[in-house]
Each structure stands twice: as structure tokens, then as C-alpha cells.
Amino acid sequence: MKQFVRPALAGLSVVTMMAAVAVAPAQKKAPASKAAAPKAVAFASVDKVLKAKCVGCHQGEKPAAGVNLSSYMEVTKAKWKGKPVVVAKKPADSVLSKAVHGTGVDKMPPGGSLMPGDIKTIDAWIAAGAKK
């Protein structure tokens, strides 16, 4: 009798597993996740930082290093040594971002640093397209 019980149990186990698989809802593959779009940051947020920490030197007819940061138009058209101060959607290529991080250009502001949140605001604005 034991000879019939083991094969029967084994067969029952296989049938049970097959039924469970057949009844289980089909799992859909999650769509390939795209990189999250950068959070939109208005220039007004960046302008607050620039006015508080940068515009004292970077304004007027003869701004420091020839870079005027006094308005949206000035910031987006500014160049430093022929390189754009802001490259929309590319903080790593933007002189402004490099300056506040202190990478590849002189660290700004001189003798200090922006708050980490202010640096993130500038980078987020550039990454989102540097729009007004």
C-alpha cells in the first residue's frame, strides 16, 4: 500500500503546484523606469540666493570676472572665459554650478560657501532647463 501512497502524493503535489501557477494572476512587468524629471525650480528661488551671496560683486558695468548675475537675462547670457555660466539641463557643464561646488573653477563665494540647500536649488534649476 505504501508503494501507491508516495507516487500518489508526489503526483498530487505536482498537480497542486500546476493549478496554483495556472490560477495565479499574471504578473505584469513594470515598465522600464525613466529617470525622474528634475523638479521644476523657478528662477525666483535662484535669484534670492544670487542676490544674497553673489550680486554684490557680480553686477553692473564691470562685474567681477566679467560675470553679471543680477538678472535672469544676465545669468543666462553670461560667459566666463568663453564658457557659458549656465548650460540648461547640464549642471556639470555650467560654470555657475562648478563655482558653487568649487570644482574646476574658483570656489564661490570667495572665503565661504553657499548652504547645501542653496546649491541644490541652483543645480535643480539648471537641471530642469534654467527657465524663468
- The per-residue pLDDT of the chain, averaged, comes to 82
Q: Is the predicted pLDDT of residue 10 greater than 60, yes or no?
A: no
pLDDT digit string, tens, across residues 40-73: 799 999 999 999 999 999 999 999 999 999 999 9
* Residue type for position 104: G
Q: Is the predicted pLDDT of residue 132 greater than 80, yes or no?
A: yes
- State the pLDDT at residue 27: 44
Q: Is 20 exposed, middle or buried (0-12, 13-18, 19+ CB in 10 A)?
A: exposed
- State the pLDDT at residue 16: 45
- What's the pTM value of the predicted model, to 2 decimals? 0.71
Given pLDDT bands bounded at 50, 70 and 90, which one contains residue 118?
Answer: very high
Give the lowest-confidence range in 29-43, 87-101, 117-131. 29-43
CATH entry 3.60.15 includes domain 43-127: no
Q: What angle do CA 121, 123, 128 make, to 5 degrees?
A: 95
Q: What angle do CA 116, 91, 111 make, to 5 degrees?
A: 45
- State the pLDDT at residue 46: 98
